[in-house]
Amino acid sequence: MAALSDRMRALVQPRLADFEPYDPAFTPTRINLSANENTYPMPAAVRAELDRALAATPLNRYPDPMSGELRAAIAERHGVEPRQVCVGNGGDELLFNFLFAFGGAGRTLLNLPPAFSEYELFAQMTETAVVNVWRDPATFEIPEDEALAAAAEADLVIVTSPNNPTGNLIAPEFAERLCAACRGLVMVDEAYIEFARPGASVQPLLERCPNLVILHTLSKAFGEAGIRCGYVLATADVIDVFAAVRQIYSVNVLTQAAGLVAIRERAAFAPVVEKIRAERARMLAGLEGLTAGAIGAVVWPSEGNFLLVRLPGAAEIRRRLRDDYDILVRDFSAAPGLAGCLRITVGTPEENDAVLRALTDLVKGETR
């Protein structure tokens, strides 16, 4: 997207002069596997319940600022107190508020890239300095000793598990050591945790790590990216800070109603998540078959609802997938540490078949 106008560059706070309007690189396509959304239809009974809940929600009153009912249901889901939950307008709002409240000028965030690009963006917006400890370029595993040493010098840590876009998990023991090493707060972003193997969540650490913050979202496993609902779990005094800095009415009444249905009816999503995990294994095998024949091509295993694949000519393959096959995937080939990489969301069996067929055509074309 275009840079800001000279007039605006002169008017905005100087540190924002190089910011640009966000470009989601979105083009309408038949098959969109670019944003890690859940592309399965919502279970019909849940959708019916949700429609009833929305229809019964008055719109003339301001929302409950702290989303009381939803907060209680979330607390019940995770076995914590409602005071340990803060709901936000998507996980994004909470990420921003985390850096806004606990970062700022003179503070340092430890980031473990390649990771979610918003961490650095929000750090810049809030004048928080960023220290990057890069993941291993071949496996995307975190160099743990180096990260722990950096955590001891940092005011904040954000670690993503499963990591977007690489799919790696951290061991809960490592999260615990990060919490012990860092004098400030450690956020573990579990946006994709429902897709990971059982026991992967750092949730059991909440009781003994008072500086742990866990981020969740309803945008991925629960198929509600459009309603914008995420939440953090932490000790009650940390939650008080989130409650103090938030836009009072950021979580609107429809979002609260839709979020409540998703949390209450969560068991109905388990078969969808199971199906996505099975499709992920099938896609991994399919992509492995494809990359085995192509020099410089790699596919990484993933604990999320997406796969990262390195392909020669990735940017061109992504363009042709879009223009010739009407399939959108995410191009990371120009991102630091991700040369030649595309991220493909695991979709429905039909969508995944279409991706594998198209990629087989294109990769054969590239290596011919």
Ligand X SMILES: *Cc1c(COP(=O)(O)O)cnc(C)c1O
CB atoms within 10 A of CB 116: 20
Strand partners, 328: 32
| Cβ proximity of 183 and 155 under 8 Å | yes
Nearer Cβ to ligand X, position 82 or 230? 230
Nearer Cβ to ligand X, position 89 or 291? 89
Beta strands (DSSP E) in the chain are 31-32, 85-88, 108-111, 129-132, 156-160, 185-189, 212-217, 230-233, 298-299, 306-310, 327-328, 330-331, 341-345
**Contact set with ligand X (CB under 6 A):** 36, 90-92, 116, 160, 164, 189, 191, 217, 219-220, 225, 230
| Cβ proximity of 122 and 111 under 8 Å | no
Rounded CA-CA distance 260/71 in Å is 8
Q: Classify burial at 151, counting beta carbons within 10 Å of its beta carbon; exposed 0-12, middle 13-18, buried 19 or more.
A: buried
Question: Who's near 269: CB < 8 A, 6+ residues apart?
Answer: 43, 46, 194, 221, 222, 223, 262
Rounded CA-CA distance 35/51 in Å is 25
Give the shortest CB-229-to-ligand X separation in angstroms: 7
Give the shortest CB-116-to-ligand X separation in angstroms: 4
Strand partners, 31: 327
Give the shortest CB-226-to-ligand X separation in angstroms: 9
Give the shortest CB-277-to-ligand X separation in angstroms: 17
Report CA Rg, the chain: 21
Give the shortest CB-71-to-ligand X separation in angstroms: 16
Three-state DSSP state, 216: strand
Give the shortest CB-360-to-ligand X separation in angstroms: 28
Give the shortest CB-123-to-ligand X separation in angstroms: 14
Nearer Cβ to ligand X, position 190 or 279? 190
Between helices 90-102 and 118-125, what is the axis angle to 10°? 40
Nearer Cβ to ligand X, position 90 or 340? 90
Q: Which residues of 215-231 are buried (b: 16+ CB within 10 A; e: fewer)?
A: bbbbbbbbbbbebbbbb
Q: CA angle, corner 41, sides to 358 and 50, nearest 5?
A: 155
Nearer Cβ to ligand X, position 231 or 325? 231
Nearer Cβ to ligand X, position 9 or 266? 266
CB atoms within 10 A of CB 177: 17
Give the shortest CB-160-to-ligand X separation in angstroms: 5
